[in-house]
């Protein structure tokens, strides 16, 4: 049961509920994303890339109604470059041309050769599984389920929220994550 909320405690999730403070903008669930890591390396993202700018554009939101995580172009390009350096699988084009970044191999290949991706929110680290980082678009072709945003706004989508209880505490302004095995429901 999700009855304990621990706010803004920097840690990796291991069975407890952890939260990240929502920013003051209330139209969306804006959260503070401090960075992204691939394996044990921080992606060298430009400073403030996920901050809201003075004209109200930009920022980073969590949205259960958006399928894929979308990173603004400047962040996406740096992220993909770092991922390509860390990935040990052959790159291949998506035949449907929907995804920019795809890799060839079985899931076992991906699981062993693909680095872990972790989103470093203020107060919580959300490590993605291979199933929430990639989707199989055809047998043996795995595409990155994190895509380029055509806007300055970046979004944490619902594929990356799989196997987490995600709580929205509107009174406290906190979005919380607790790992869960959704296959057991």
Domain ranges across the chain = 6-87+117-128+150-175
pTM: 0.85
What is the rounded CA–CA span in Å between residue 97 and residue 139? 16
Compute the half-sphere exposure of residue 172: CA atoms within 13 Å on the CB side of its CA: 13
pLDDT at residue 13 above 80? no
pLDDT band at 25; cut points 50, 70, 90: low
pLDDT band at 172; cut points 50, 70, 90: confident
| Mean pLDDT computed over 47-56 | 88
In this prediction, residue 9 carries a pLDDT of 34
| Mean pLDDT computed over 7-33 | 56
What is the rounded CA–CA span in Å between residue 86 and residue 95? 23
Of residues 61, 34, 81, the one with CA closest to residue 152: 61
| Mean pLDDT computed over 81-104 | 95
What is the rounded CA–CA span in Å between residue 154 and residue 147? 10
Is 104 within 8 Å of 141 (Cβ atoms)? yes
Q: Which CATH architecture has domain 6-87+117-128+150-175?
A: Beta Barrel (2.40)
In this prediction, residue 54 carries a pLDDT of 79
pLDDT band at 161; cut points 50, 70, 90: very high
Q: Which range has the worst mean pLDDT, 4-8, 74-78, 81-85?
A: 4-8
Cα 121 → chain centroid: 10
In this prediction, residue 16 carries a pLDDT of 39
State whether the Cα torsion 129-157-174-76 is positive or negative: positive
Is 177 within 8 Å of 165 (Cβ atoms)? yes
110-157: pLDDT as tens digits: 999 999 999 999 888 999 999 999 999 999 999 999 999 999 999 999
The mean of the pLDDT values for the chain is 85
Which residue do the tokens 């945003």 mark?
Answer: 149
Q: Which residues of 3-38 are buried (b: 16+ CB within 10 A; e: fewer)?
A: eeeebeeeeeeeeebbbbbbbeeeeebbbbbbbbbb
In this prediction, residue 101 carries a pLDDT of 96
Compute the half-sphere exposure of residue 144: CA atoms within 13 Å on the CB side of its CA: 26
Q: Which residues of 77-108 are buried (b: 16+ CB within 10 A; e: fewer)?
A: ebbbebbeebbebeeeeeeeeebebbbebeee
């Amino acid at each position: 049961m999700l009855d304990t909320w621990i706010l803004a405690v920097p840690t990796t999730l291991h069975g407890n509920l952890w939260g990240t403070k929502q920013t003051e903008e209330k139209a969306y669930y804006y959260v503070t994303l401090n960075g992204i890591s691939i394996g044990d390396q921080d992606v060298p993202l430009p400073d403030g890339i996920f901050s809201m700018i003075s004209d109200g554009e930009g920022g980073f939101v969590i949205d259960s109604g958006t399928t894929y995580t979308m990173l603004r172009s400047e962040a996406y390009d740096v992220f993909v470059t770092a991922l390509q350096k860390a990935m040990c699988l052959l790159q291949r084009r998506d035949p449907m041309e929907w995804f920019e970044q795809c890799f060839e191999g079985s899931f076992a290949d991906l699981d062993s050769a693909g680095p872990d991706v972790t989103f470093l929110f203020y107060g919580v680290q959300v490590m993605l599984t291979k199933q929430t980082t990639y989707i199989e678009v055809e047998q043996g072709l795995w595409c990155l389920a994190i895509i380029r945003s055509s806007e300055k706004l970046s979004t944490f989508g619902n594929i990356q929220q799989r196997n987490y209880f995600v709580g929205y505490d509107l009174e406290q302004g906190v979005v919380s994550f607790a790992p869960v095995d959704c296959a057991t429901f």
